[in-house]
Every structure is written in C-alpha cells, then in structure tokens.
A and B are shown apart, each in its own frame.
Chain A
Amino acid sequence: MNEHLKADRNAVAVTPRKSPRWLPAIWVILPLAVLAAAIWWLIATNPLARFDNGAPPVESLTVERTILDHNGLRLLVRAGGSEPMTIAQVQVDAAYWEFVQEPSGPIARGETAWVSLPFPWVSGEAHLVTFVTNTGATFEHPIPVAVATPSVTSGNLISQAILGAFVGILPVAVGLMFYPALRGAGPATMDFLLAMTVGLLGFLIVDTLEDSLEFASQAAAIFQGQAMVVLAAAASFLILMAVSRRQGSPTGLALATYIALGIGLHNLGEGLAIGAAFAAGAAGLGAFLVIGFTIHNITEGIGIAAPILKVRLPLWTFAALALLAGGPAVVGIWLGSLAYAPQWSALALAIGAGAILQVIFEVGALLVRSRGGANAAISSPPVLAGLAVGVGFMYLTAMLVKI
C-alpha cells in the first residue's frame, strides 16, 4: 500500500476520493431499494389480508368553500378517506336534490370536487347539507345563516376597502399622528412606549394564534392544521430574524418597519375574519363594531412610532408604514369574503404570529439594551407600566369587538 502510494502519488490521491464518490450513492440507493421491495411485497402477496375484516373504508369529507348565489349552492369538498370516495346522493334539509359534481366520479384522497345543487335557499335562514356516500355514510355541513356570497364586483371591492381602511389603516394613521407629541419624550417615556408596544404585540400574538388554530381546526385532516400553524409560525419567525439580523439588531426605521409588518399580518388575519363572517352571514357588522375595531387598533400606530421618535424621517415613510400595517386588513376582507378554504387563512395567520414574535423579540432586545440588562429592564417601573397598559388596553378594547 505504502509502496504504491509512493510510486504514484497522483493515482493514490485520486483513488481514495474516487471510491467515496460513488459509494455514498449505494447507501442512498440501497435503503430506497429495500423500501421499494417491501412495498412490492406488501402489494404482491397481501400479507395484511388477515386484517381485512369486511369493515367499510374510513371516509372523511371536508367542505372548504360554500358559495350561495342565484343558481343555488356550490360547495367545494375535499375527500380524506382511506380509499377514493363516491358521493352518491346529497340532501338539503332532509330532502334529496339533484346535484352536479365536477369532476364527476370517485374523489381520490386529498382531491377536491365542486358539488352544485339548484337549491332555493332562503336568505337569513339556516340550512343543512348532508352528503351520502355509496357506503351510506353521511357528512353534514351546516349553513348557519344563508346569505349570498359576496361576488367580486367593483362596488363590493370598494365598500370592503372602505371598511378595511376604517379597521386597519385609519387607526394606525391616527396612532402615528401622536408622533410629534411624543418626540420630546424622555428616556422613561421612551421605555414606557416601547414596553407598551411589547404588551400590545403580546396580546396580538395570542389573538392571532387563537384565530389561526380555529381556522386550522376547520381544515381537512390531511393538512394537519395544528402542526402546520406551529411550524409556519416558527419558520416565519426564524426567517424574519435571519433577515433582520444581517446587519445587527434592527433599530429606528428598520425596527418600525418590522413592527408594521407584524401588525400588518395580524390585520390581514383580522380582515380575513371579518370577511369570513360576512361570507358566513355570521355578522351584521354595525357601526359600533367598526368603531370598536378602530379604537382597538390605535395603539398599533403608537407602537410603530416608538422606535423612530429620535429619528428624522420624510413624511412619506409614515404613509408607507401606515399602509404596511393597515393595508392588509383591506386585502384580508377581500379574500375572506370570497370564502376561501380555511387552511389558507390558518397559514396566513400563522405567518403573522411568527412575524409578531420576531418584533416582540426585537423591541424587547432594544429595551434591554437601553436599560443595560434584562433584570434592570424588567424591574423598571416605566417598563412594567408600559407592558400592563399595552396588554390592558388591547384586552379592554377587544371587548368592543368580541361577540
């Protein structure tokens, strides 16, 4: 070996490199080959036949979208059975109705189909759709309050945008308008404002996760809603941390932008919830409720202003921040009112939760730095007061909008 090594250095240098080069490939191919062989054996010899006790296949059907219009009902269903599922008949309010399924035939696991019925639904009343499969299993889908699903018309989009502006953009702008008044704030006031921001973000993250998990629970089992929410939130937190920390801890305008982004994603969720409530007919959104949302969200503007009080900025940055934080409410209402599948709402809210966690982390870090340590920060009266005011204000004003 040694001789050979001395005799031809080049050849030796190549040989040890060459064999590991394709050897690892074997260790990739071999386990896959074992897996393929096992699957082939399972299918070819059916050793599990013993477990076939004649029980019918497990079936699962989730309705993801419900559209009510002048043609009747249209429902987007997703199958989640152990085998492809066949919808044999459809009842509405305990009566069989002709239906059209598209695409027709059995619905494979994880696949969707549209089911349309010429059912004359009654505005403002409840209906119950029952799907009967070929095995006789039934899946019920209640329509608690039947109202026409908002359609995409310019009139609808504009009125929804106005509502979104009231709920999202106006309060953030009002909050930002405190900026001149707060500019002269001393260190204690600064700490109070930053701590208040952390408090309100703390409320928002709980609120967002709650909504996210609620949407997730309505999604088809195949999406594993809860795991998806947690993983999406963690991923969004880590990605935003990685991006924001490329040039050290964000401060000033950068920090304000991240806060606006987190709040914006939360407002997207709030918009989705309002839009979904419209689509489901669950909410007659009164002026009282809209004003409630507006007051509820005013502190968000103050929170965004807090990190930039000591920075000189052109006016357009304030407009941009207000749009970033409030604009998503408009988009949320648009999307939510079209009754999109719950897993997409859950995903959007989970990303929002991660973004809020990131700004809590960053604002907290800023507080700790300015106080010269975590212990000093947490025991300082302005910080404690700020946290309490932030959470308390959000909690109390939320009473205006929770029904």
Chain B
Amino acid sequence: MRSWLPFDLRRRGFLGAGLIAAGGAALSARAALGQASHPTGHGGGATSATTEPLVPAHRVAHGAMITVGDVDDARNGFDPTAMLTDWYIGEISTLPDGRRLRTFEVFVEDKEIEIAPGVMFPAWTYNGRVPGPALRAVEGERLRIVFRNYGSHPHTMHFHGIHSARMDGVPGAGQINPGEEFVYEFDAKPFGCHLYHCHAFPLARHIHKGMYGLFIIDPDPELHPDMADVASSRLIGSAENVRWQEMAMVMNAFDTTFDGENEFYAVNTVAHCFAKKPIRVERHRPVRIYLANVTEFDPINSFHLHANFFDYYNQGTTLTPTLKTVDLITQCQAERGILEFTFADHEPGLYMFHAHQSEFAELGWMGMFDVVEAVS
C-alpha cells in the first residue's frame, strides 16, 4: 500500500536523503533544515544541489532520525571529542617522606551549556565542563584536590575510593559554601576506573545538573609483578600504554523540563555528537574505554558495540576481565568499568556503539567508530 521509503533497508539512507530533498524542494527557498542559526553541515547539503556527497556518513546509518544542527563547542568551552582523551593528570611533586604527591585543582562554576543543537541547559560544572575533568592518578600516590566553589550553592566532591570519613565529600565533611575552599587529601587506592560527584543535597539535582567526572587510578606495575605487563599497559605514558587508544566516556542525560524524565541522552553530554562526528580509531591499535554511568532518573544504562565483542573489567579493580567476550554491558548509576577491544581483524568502516535501550539511543545516546588504517 503505502511505501515508507526510508525503511527499505537496502537503500534506506539514500532514499531517506531523497525524501528530505523532495520535502525541501516542496518548501520555499527560505526553509532551512531546522534553525538557520545552527550550522547545518551534516545534513543541509542534502536539501540543495551541491557537489558535496549526497549522503553524509551518519545519514547512511541513521536516516532522518537524528537531532538537527550542531552544538557550538567553542561557546560551551568543551568538545566531546577532545574530552575523550583529555586526561587531567595534575601537578606531581615529592613529599618529605619520598612519596609522590599529585595535586589537582577543581573549581565549581554555574554555566549555561548547549547539550544538544540549540538546546541550552543551566548546568553546575566542575572546571567549566560536563562531565568534569577526568582525573587520572597512579596507585599508591598521595592525592590532594584543591576544591573551590565559585557557584551559587553549597557543593562537594565525593570520591569513589578509599579515604577517611573527613574526606568523604558529604554534608559535614568537605561540603563548602560559595566562595569557600577545601582540600581533599587521601591515598590513590584501589586502582581502577572510578568516579567522583557532588554529594550535596538534594543529591539527584546536584548530580543531574552536571557535577560528576571520571576518577581513574592506574595500577602500579611494581605492585603487580606477576601481571606487570598488563598493569603497565594501563599506566598512562608507559611504553606499553602508548599503543592503546584510550577514551574517557561518561554516559549522562539531561532533564530539560525538570519533571524527572530525561529529554536528552548522550556520552560526554552532547546528544548524537559521535553519530555526527564518528570517533576515528586505528584498526591495528587496541581500544580501551573508561566508561561510567551517571544517568539520573533511569535505573540503568548500557553500552553495546556493533560487529565486535569486548572484554570488560567491572570497576576496573582487576587486571583480568570480569566479563569476557561480550558485546553489551549494563551499568547502574555510578557503576563503571573498562572495555577493551580491537578492530584488528575488521575491515575499515563505520561501527556503531550505543545504549541498547532503544529509547536512550533515539534520544541521543548513539555514536560510531570510524575504523581507519591510520589516523592522519
């Protein structure tokens, strides 16, 4: 009867674009894809006869089911792609007893951020970004986090790690008012993929507004002599680590109407960002993802990799996988872990990854790896 062209799987991308082109032609020349103020580089080309390829890569994969436009990363002050590899390793110094001291500086700032093309969200941020900086230390170091509150509400940094009650970052222990400063100090242990978040009350609001980030403790190879090579591969900057393509991913979501249901889902804040700008991955180098789930209001989130399987280290506190050869893991809120996989045996191309709750995927938590021979 009626033929829904975009769903003809064999040709859906092409025809989907044709449908848009037909729609565009039917409308007047004043019509623009979505808002004229958005850069429309990812799809606008399909509406006019240009020499650009008719179908951008993501349109092949997603058809017309995607947000319209692009986010202004410069205005936000952070770029989801850059955040993948932006580790904050702090300042290193030596304590009188010879131990290594690592110092981080974190401030709180209220900031209006663009979480999807054209949609602004009044966020509370650590260091002006959501998620906050991905702190990275090495097992056994002394850590000092100088925390300053330039925001409008009391805040904390609550680390998932081992520390004293005084350093827990909850009301009464490390919570500071606007304009105040507090220094958290504890040892980096246990090694793994952890996170920190604000623990001021009401908790859900403080987390949902953007106050969270990865807190990664690399294993010290000297402390794990029987698996020193594995530990070394996770130690940032080591010879064994360099060949790995490591990425920081935080699964988050935003409830723009404050009704307890999320309107946008993403990895690293911006809906559909990795669907429109696929992550370049070199085929021969293994991939390691430090993944955490901080999605508020939904009990779990998930990560599914297309056309491939991975090993999973739940919370990253072991050097052997806790799950071997899976293509889907689920994480409760604040659950996190390390994914390791390779595309060495694959042909180059676009490989999707997304939450396997379809709703989350269709509301923005959708991305692609662009597997190439070599990143130029």
Interface residues of A (CB under 8 A from B): 70-72, 86-91, 94-105, 114, 116-120, 123, 132-138, 148
B307 interface contact, C-beta 8 A: no
Q: Are B7 and A94 in contact (CB under 8 A)?
A: no
Dominant SS among interface residues on chain B: loop
Contact of A134 among B20, B118, B263 (CB under 8 A): B118
- Distance of B72 from chain A, by nearest CB (Å): 12
A138 proximity list for chain B (CB < 8 A):
256-257, 263
Contact of A137 among B4, B35, B256, B359 (CB under 8 A): B256
The tally of CB-CB contacts under 8 A between chains A and B is 127
Q: Which residue of A lies closest to B4 (CB)?
A: A120
B36 proximity list for chain A (CB < 8 A):
104-105
A136 proximity list for chain B (CB < 8 A):
119-121, 254, 256-257, 263
In the bound assembly, the distance between CA atoms of A169 and B280 in angstroms comes to 70
B161 interface contact, C-beta 8 A: no
Q: Are A94 and B118 in contact (CB under 8 A)?
A: no
Q: Which residue of A lies closest to B2 (CB)?
A: A70
Question: Which of B26-34, B130-138, B329-337 lies at the binding interface?
Answer: B26-34
In the bound assembly, the distance between CA atoms of A102 and B7 in angstroms comes to 26
Q: Are B30 and A103 in contact (CB under 8 A)?
A: yes
Add 12 more A-B contacts to A71-B22, A94-B363, A97-B66 (CB < 8 A). A71-B19, A94-B359, A95-B363, A96-B364, A99-B33, A99-B68, A101-B31, A102-B30, A104-B32, A114-B27, A134-B120, A137-B256
B118 proximity list for chain A (CB < 8 A):
86, 88-89, 134
Contact of B117 among A88, A95, A101, A105 (CB under 8 A): A88
A114 proximity list for chain B (CB < 8 A):
27
- Distance of A83 from chain B, by nearest CB (Å): 14
Q: Are B66 and A96 in contact (CB under 8 A)?
A: yes
Q: Are A100 and B362 in contact (CB under 8 A)?
A: no
Q: Are A98 and B68 in contact (CB under 8 A)?
A: yes
CB pairs A–B below 8 angstroms (19 shown): A89-B67, A94-B362, A94-B363, A95-B359, A96-B271, A97-B64, A98-B20, A100-B32, A103-B30, A104-B36, A116-B23, A117-B64, A118-B19, A118-B64, A132-B256, A136-B254, A136-B257, A137-B257, A148-B2
- B31-49 interface bits toward A, Cβ cutoff 8 Å, 1 = contact, 0 = none: 1111111000001000100
- Distance of A307 from chain B, by nearest CB (Å): 52
In the bound assembly, the distance between CA atoms of A335 and B22 in angstroms comes to 27
B321 interface contact, C-beta 8 A: no
B30 proximity list for chain A (CB < 8 A):
102-104
Q: Which residue of A lies closest to B115 (CB)?
A: A136
Q: Which residue of A lies closest to B364 (CB)?
A: A96
Known: A96-B65, A138-B257. A118 touches B16 (CB 8 A): yes
In the bound assembly, the distance between CA atoms of A86 and B34 in angstroms comes to 10
Known: A118-B19, A136-B119. A102 touches B27 (CB 8 A): yes
Contact of A100 among B4, B7, B23 (CB under 8 A): B23
B354 interface contact, C-beta 8 A: no
In the bound assembly, the distance between CA atoms of A137 and B24 in angstroms comes to 27
A120 proximity list for chain B (CB < 8 A):
4, 6-7
Scan residues 253-303 of chain B and give those whose CB is less than 8 A from a CB of chain A: 254, 256-257, 263, 271-272
Q: Are B27 and A100 in contact (CB under 8 A)?
A: yes
In the bound assembly, the distance between CA atoms of A103 and B16 in angstroms comes to 23
Q: Are A98 and B34 in contact (CB under 8 A)?
A: yes
- Distance of A74 from chain B, by nearest CB (Å): 9
- Distance of B224 from chain A, by nearest CB (Å): 45
- Distance of A345 from chain B, by nearest CB (Å): 27
B116 interface contact, C-beta 8 A: yes
A103 proximity list for chain B (CB < 8 A):
30-31
- Distance of B18 from chain A, by nearest CB (Å): 10
In the bound assembly, the distance between CA atoms of A66 and B74 in angstroms comes to 38
Q: Are A118 and B35 in contact (CB under 8 A)?
A: no
- Distance of B134 from chain A, by nearest CB (Å): 26
A99 proximity list for chain B (CB < 8 A):
33-34, 68
Q: Which residue of A lies closest to B37 (CB)?
A: A105
Q: Which residue of A lies closest to B3 (CB)?
A: A70
- Distance of A103 from chain B, by nearest CB (Å): 5
B117 proximity list for chain A (CB < 8 A):
88-89
Contact of A102 among B20, B28, B119 (CB under 8 A): B28
In the bound assembly, the distance between CA atoms of A103 and B67 in angstroms comes to 19
Q: Are B31 and A100 in contact (CB under 8 A)?
A: yes
- Distance of A52 from chain B, by nearest CB (Å): 15
A97 proximity list for chain B (CB < 8 A):
64-66
In the bound assembly, the distance between CA atoms of A120 and B211 in angstroms comes to 38
B116 proximity list for chain A (CB < 8 A):
88-89, 96, 132
B363 proximity list for chain A (CB < 8 A):
91, 94-96
- Distance of A133 from chain B, by nearest CB (Å): 8
- B1-25 interface bits toward A, Cβ cutoff 8 Å, 1 = contact, 0 = none: 0101011000000001001101110
Q: Which residue of A lies closest to B262 (CB)?
A: A94
Q: Are B33 and A98 in contact (CB under 8 A)?
A: yes
- Distance of A113 from chain B, by nearest CB (Å): 10
In the bound assembly, the distance between CA atoms of A102 and B30 in angstroms comes to 7
A72 proximity list for chain B (CB < 8 A):
19, 23
In the bound assembly, the distance between CA atoms of A282 and B263 in angstroms comes to 29
- Distance of B255 from chain A, by nearest CB (Å): 9
Q: Which of A87, A96, A119 has the most CB of B within 10 A?
A: A96
A132 proximity list for chain B (CB < 8 A):
116, 119, 256, 263
Contact of A104 among B26, B31, B43, B271 (CB under 8 A): B31
Q: Are B64 and A102 in contact (CB under 8 A)?
A: no
Q: Are B35 and A88 in contact (CB under 8 A)?
A: yes
In the bound assembly, the distance between CA atoms of A116 and B21 in angstroms comes to 12
- Distance of A150 from chain B, by nearest CB (Å): 15
- Distance of A274 from chain B, by nearest CB (Å): 25
The 4 closest A-B CB pairs, nearest first, are: A136-B256, A88-B118, A95-B362, A102-B31
